[in-house]
Amino acid sequence: MKNTIKRTTLLLFYLALMCLIYACNTTRKAAFYSFPKPVDTTDKEILYQKKKTYSFADMGVYVSNEFDGARLNGCRVLNDSTIEATISPENAPINESAYYALQIWSDKPRDLTVLLNYTLHQHRYVPKISTNRNDWTLLDSTQVEVLNEGRQCAVRLTVSPKKTYLAAQELMTSGDVKAWCTALAKAPDVAFSSIGKSKLNRDLYLLDIGEGDKKGKDIVVILSRQHPPEVTGFLAMQAFVEELMTDTPLSRAFRKKYRILVFPLLNPDGVDLGHWRHSAGGIDMNRDWAFYHQPETKAVADFIVQTEKLDKNDVILGLDFHSTWYDVYYTMIDSLQSDIPGFKNYWIDGIGQVIGDYTPNDKPSGLGRPVSKGWFYTQFNAEGITYEIGDETPREFINIKGQVSAREMMQLLIYR
């Protein structure tokens, strides 16, 4: 009889333990959600570039893709003044984001034409050059000629022994992002860490911002670089976050009241590999916010949910920074009321009023594809907004807009 009672007690104990483990696993991981327009985000094969320096000895010209963020799939001489650079995406189908980045130099100064030859889609990004990766110059229209209905672009350069980067957008690799995060983390209100690894074992960075005890505070989440070439969105995110960190009464009050989780580089593999759009898993990460097939999306989603549960926080707002052809805010339709109703209308109107001579472009929509904007709403009943910046929006305006957007957000949330 005693043995029977003992076995029963042990059985009940193990059952209770299993229930507890199951409950922890289910409540501290991001929930699945079947969006109305599902997207298959299981792995797709990608094309890796062959990393090499192309040496054209007869011309005394050299072209390389041996650096992070490069995109060059082949190179050949067409004539004594023209080099053809083949640009291909990592896989297809894919968004029309024909990204390129290469390094070029010569034995002696000379004029040269680089013919960008796209194997898919058309020319999109205005060429930019730099010799130090910090200072970038937008090429004049007289140096750029789009040919063959956009399938080619002739870029006229003066090259020299000093190596020059020719790229679709400024290079902002995982190393650059780490350096920026490290600098911000010198402030006492910032903790910098990695919350997981990408498919190719790169760090997924987190800036955890807030003053004092972070438990019980409402959370604002900031995402960036799901899509590698979308550098202008990253620049806007930088300006936005740096405004949150200023030593002003508004910023200090905000950091005291709220907790900010910043994920500045969700797709480090795609960024360093020079991808047009996709992750190392060959998929658009901003379609993976339903079942989290990719390790990056799963790690970030689970971390946000776990943080909310463990520290008794409420996620109230998610901002996802991107780039497209023009500035636009993709927001939720008014019938989908979040826990901060009316926020996005007041916020966008306020940005327009402060900047002046600027009318914000708001494009609301309901739940459709499994993107981050909808995920914030379905997971937390939080406001979800995709903050898009134009490919060629002036960098000074990007900075101003990021600062104003941050200040308007802080004022609304402090006094809500």
Model confidence pLDDT, tens digit, residues 326-353: 999 999 999 999 999 999 999 999 999 9
- State the average pLDDT for the chain: 94
Residue 22, pLDDT score: 37
Q: And the tokens for 141?
A: 């229209």
Q: Which of 167, 202, 229 is the last residue of a domain?
A: 167
Residue 416, pLDDT score: 80
How confident is the model over 257-267, as a mean pLDDT?
98
44 confidence band (pLDDT: 50, 70, 90): very high
Q: Please give the Cα distance from 37 to 59 (Å, whole number).
A: 53
Please state whether 311 falls in left (phi above 0), alpha (psi between -120 and 50) or beta: alpha
Contact 63, 102 (CB under 8 A): yes
* Residue 99 included in any domain: yes
CATH number at residue 266: 3.40.630.10
Listed in sequence order, the residues at least 6 apart from 25 whose beta carbon sits closer than 8 Å to its beta carbon are: none
CA nearest to 281, candidates 293, 265, 271: 293
Residue 27, pLDDT score: 56
Residue 244 has pLDDT above 60, yes or no: yes
Based on the fold, state whether residues 192 and 162 are members of the same structural domain.
no
Helices (H) and strands (E) in the chain, counts: 9, 19
Based on the fold, state whether residues 254 and 137 are members of the same structural domain.
no
Q: And the tokens for 30?
A: 């991001």
Q: And the tokens for 395?
A: 């960098």
pTM of the full structure = 0.93
* Residue 2 included in any domain: no
CA nearest to 65, candidates 87, 81, 45, 96: 87
Based on the fold, state whether residues 297 and 148 are members of the same structural domain.
no
Based on the fold, state whether residues 118 and 229 are members of the same structural domain.
no
Based on the fold, state whether residues 102 and 185 are members of the same structural domain.
no
Domain that holds residue 199: 174-414
Q: CA torsion sign, 393 to 174 to 121 to 285? A: negative
Q: Which of 116, 141, 167 is the last residue of a domain?
A: 167
Q: Please give the Cα distance from 335 to 47 (Å, whole number).
A: 43
* Residue 38 included in any domain: no
Q: Please give the Cα distance from 331 to 322 (Å, whole number).
A: 13
Three-state secondary-structure class, residue 157: strand
Based on the fold, state whether residues 238 and 90 are members of the same structural domain.
no
Q: Please give the Cα distance from 278 to 297 (Å, whole number).
A: 13
Q: Which of 13-27, 113-127, 146-160, 215-229 has the lowest mean pLDDT?
A: 13-27
Tens digit of each residue's pLDDT (9 = 90 or more) over 280-331? 999 999 999 999 999 999 999 999 999 999 999 999 999 999 999 999 999 9
Contact 322, 266 (CB under 8 A): no
Pairing mode of beta strands 101-106, 137-138:
unpaired
Residue 7 has pLDDT above 60, yes or no: no
- Structurally, the chain folds into a number of domains equal to 2
Residue 56, pLDDT score: 98
Residue 8, pLDDT score: 45
* Residue 1 included in any domain: no
CATH number at residue 83: 2.60.40.3120
Based on the fold, state whether residues 142 and 182 are members of the same structural domain.
no
Cα dist. 49→64, 70, 86, 275, 295 in Å? 11, 9, 11, 10, 22
Based on the fold, state whether residues 295 and 407 are members of the same structural domain.
yes
Residue 19, pLDDT score: 39
How confident is the model over 204-219, as a mean pLDDT?
96
Residue 17, pLDDT score: 39
Tens digit of each residue's pLDDT (9 = 90 or more) over 56-79? 999 999 999 999 999 999 999 999
Q: Locate all alpha helices (DSSP H) within 161-312, ordered by sequence.
A: 174-184, 231-244, 249-257, 268-272, 295-310
* Residue 107 included in any domain: yes
Q: Please give the Cα distance from 225 to 320 (Å, whole number).
A: 9
Residue 5 has pLDDT above 70, yes or no: no
Based on the fold, state whether residues 328 and 212 are members of the same structural domain.
yes
Contact 228, 99 (CB under 8 A): yes
| DSSP letter, residue 229 | T
Q: Which of 167, 198, 227 is the last residue of a domain?
A: 167
Three-state secondary-structure class, residue 37: coil
9 confidence band (pLDDT: 50, 70, 90): very low
